[in-house]
A and B are shown apart, each in its own frame.
Chain A
Amino acid sequence: MVKLQITLTNKWGLHARSSYALEALARSFGAAITVARGGARADAKKMDELLALAVEPGTSLELMAVGPDEERAAAALAELIGSKFGEKE
């Protein structure tokens, strides 16, 4: 299992577009990927669960990936979040 802590720094947090982008990227990996905010957890391959976390900008999230490609999956998702989902400021 790979576990990463990452802070959302984009302008709108985990909103519709960023959740969709995260889901689409997560689905490209075989690993099971979980995003946790405090006690709440979401399957990163399910946009509705990501939206239900109601993540605001500045929130710290925990990424957990389990599976053969867990390293690549966690790194790719962390990169997407770190890039602010490509959103303009």
Chain B
Amino acid sequence: MTETGSRTGILIIAHGALAQEMLNALEFITGPQPRARAIALDHALEVDRARAMVVEAIDALMSPKGVLVLTDLFGGAPSNIALSTLDEKNIEIVAGVNLPILIHAVSQDESLSLRAKAEALRDYGRNNIFRASDFFSGKK
């Protein structure tokens, strides 16, 4: 519990290579994010091993600020594995991660509570999905 100091850790968990690629895209835009990690889960992985990987990553990212776990799909294996750690850690899980959520996550006000950060990320992610033509016709 040290690599992130007193900043909130960010753990992305998703199917296949999505998590690492989302982290790559995030760092392409924002620069290196040492307090963020990505975990790929697939069906070739045993559940116990997957859970151990998630717990290990959460422990590595943990600080007094806690860890935000961002998963790709509520109800999917990455999300379910994350949920299994919910009762024992200072974590919040947001399912349905997208790039706006990730970018916002690394620029959030650290004085917010972990819960407030998670709620803000949920809202930010929702609010940044557009039907582009609606946007340009002023319907947004």
Contact = CB atoms under 8 A, between A and B. Distances in A.
Interface of A: 16-17, 20, 23-24, 27, 47-48, 52, 54
Nearest to A47: B103
Nearest to A45: B107
A48 B107 contact: no
Top 3 nearest A-B pairs (CB, nearest first) are A16-B29, A17-B29, A20-B29
B29 to A, nearest CB: 5
Contacts of B29: 16-17, 20
B24 to A, nearest CB: 13
B128 A48 contact: yes
Contacts of B104: 47-48
Contact of A23 (B99, B100, B107): B107
Contacts of A24: 107
Contacts of A20: 29-30, 103
Interface string B97-140: 00110011001000000000000000010011000000110000
Nearest to B31: A20
Contacts of B28: 17
B68 to A, nearest CB: 18
A17 B135 CA distance: 21
Contact of B100 (A27, A48, A54): A48
Interface in B80-107: 99-100, 103-104, 107
Given A47-B104, A48-B100, A52-B135, 17 more contacts: A16-B29, A16-B103, A17-B28, A17-B29, A20-B29, A20-B30, A20-B103, A23-B107, A24-B107, A27-B107, A47-B103, A47-B107, A48-B104, A48-B124, A48-B127, A48-B128, A54-B136
A20 B124 CA distance: 15
